[in-house]
Amino acid sequence: MTERVVLAYSGGLDTSVAIPYLAEQTGAEVIAVAVDVGQGGEDLDVIRQRAVDCGAVEAEVVDARDEFAAGYCLPAIRANALYMDRYPLVSALSRPLIVKHLVAAARAHGGTIVSHGCTGKGNDQVRFEVGLGALAPDLKIVAPARDFAWTRDKAIAFAEEKGLPIDVSARSPYSIDQNLWGRAVETGFLEDIWNGPLEELYSYTGDPAEPRDADEVVITFDAGVPVAIDGETVTPYQAILELNRRAGEQGVGRLDMVEDRLVGIKSREVYEAPGAITLITAHQELEAVTVERDLARFKRSVDQRWAELVYDGLWFSPLKDSLDAFIDDAQRHVSGEVRLSLHGGRATVTGRRSEASLYDFGLATYDTGDTFDQSLAKGFVQLWGLPSRMAAARDARLGGA
């Protein structure tokens, strides 16, 4: 029986060429699977037909936009997930979802091999293969760009030789990955980290320096889930889509950073994530109002570790499962409204309110109505500083030893 390869298919040059190339190299039939995670671009039927025209025996296109928003972006909001305190995991969040559908396709079509288009220098090879190892360790993995030293020049020559129905004449100077959660741009002149990004490389965001009126938005959360925008009920997908539009128009969510890749190299990346940055900003502020101090302090360390696990391709791991359980419990009281001003490339919180608020006006005010008993403070300060005073006295007694 002929083996079958399930290919993670984007519809672009590299994965289109991979269809006949994999068939030649492995002798297997190729099943192309494209997963729509809100990346936009071409019609899904066009992508499906292109895969067939390039030699796939089967081609699937999965509309996973709502699934991506609810099952992957939403947990990132509740975890305030920002790798290196800045990057909202644009590409990293989509990979485990794609892996899940690749495994499902392999089971449905009798596939024994899974293939992806990642190189050996990036993070995505790890995210795909570690995820596959967790969900389907019996499947073999082939990565043409890495395993067969497959370059873009070879891909173009192969496409021309085979007469494949794809345009190989135009080449973007950038490598771009995008989805509902944001857009990532790298390579080309950006590899010189002294070069500033040009306005032409942005797509999700307007120029933040362009004069325009501010846009005020109120986001309602229920247990850490965005459920309404300006009083209108929304799903997670609708919330992200709407804030991509509104915050994007104001230039919110642009990032230019040098990040630490899992493989050990530093990489310069330019990101656009208007909806992600706006939602995380609002969620962080509501947590500041509703989450008790020690729980909030500990959750910040959990959030950081959660982001690192997802970035490192460990979505399907015991530690992440346990962190998810902790975060879910910590979100019980994260309900209320946050008002933000979207303007000049920033999402600035201007108001917050919640029935579960721990903010007490009587305790916080310095004016009439103050209910804080300041007479208790002197003794508290003395006891709080007692260990430090004792240590200092010991060090003085021993001559600073």
The per-residue pLDDT for 264 is: 92
Same domain, 10 and 142: yes
14 is catalytic: yes
Boundary of a domain, candidates 138, 153, 171:
171
Same domain, 75 and 221: no
Is 202 known as a binding-site position? no
Is 216 known as a binding-site position? no
Same domain, 39 and 147: yes
Instruction: Indicate whether 359 belongs to any domain.
Output: no
Q: To which H or E segment does residue 255 belong?
A: strand 254-260
Q: Which two tokens stand for residue 366?
A: 């310095």
pLDDT in single tens digits along all 401 residues of the chain: 689 999 999 888 888 889 998 998 889 999 999 999 999 877 888 889 999 999 999 999 999 999 999 999 999 999 999 999 999 999 999 999 999 999 999 999 999 999 998 888 889 999 999 999 999 999 999 998 888 877 777 878 888 888 887 765 556 667 888 999 999 998 888 999 999 999 999 999 999 999 999 999 999 999 999 999 999 999 999 999 999 999 999 999 999 999 999 989 999 999 999 999 999 999 999 999 999 999 999 999 999 999 999 999 999 999 999 999 999 999 999 999 999 999 999 999 999 999 999 999 989 889 888 999 999 999 999 999 999 999 999 999 998 65
Name the domain count of the chain: 2
Domain with 199 in it: what CATH number?
3.90.1260.10
Q: Which two tokens stand for residue 68?
A: 């991506």
Range of the domain at 114: 4-171
CA angle 83, 89, 92 (to 5 degrees): 120
Is 119 known as a binding-site position? yes
Instruction: Indicate whether 107 belongs to any domain.
Output: yes
Given 4, 14, 115, 352, the catalytic residue:
14
Given 53, 66, 146, 175, the catalytic residue:
175
95 is catalytic: yes
Domain with 124 in it: what CATH number?
3.40.50.620
Is 350 known as a binding-site position? no
Given 95, 246, 254, 346, the catalytic residue:
95
124 is catalytic: yes
Instruction: Indicate whether 212 belongs to any domain.
Output: yes
Same domain, 50 and 92: yes
Instruction: Indicate whether 384 belongs to any domain.
Output: no
Is 9 known as a binding-site position? yes
Same domain, 164 and 283: no
Same domain, 154 and 19: yes
Question: DSSP letter at 64?
Answer: -
Q: Which residues of 281-320 are buried (b: 16+ CB within 10 A; e: fewer)?
A: bbbbbbbebbbeeeeeeebeebbbebbbbbbbbbbbbeeb
Given 124, 246, 335, 352, the catalytic residue:
124
Instruction: Indicate whether 120 belongs to any domain.
Output: yes
Is 367 known as a binding-site position? no
Same domain, 96 and 193: no
Q: Measuring CA to CA, which residue among 97, 116, 106 is closest to residue 138?
A: 106
Report the alpha-carbon distance of residue 77 to residue 204 in Å, rounded: 19
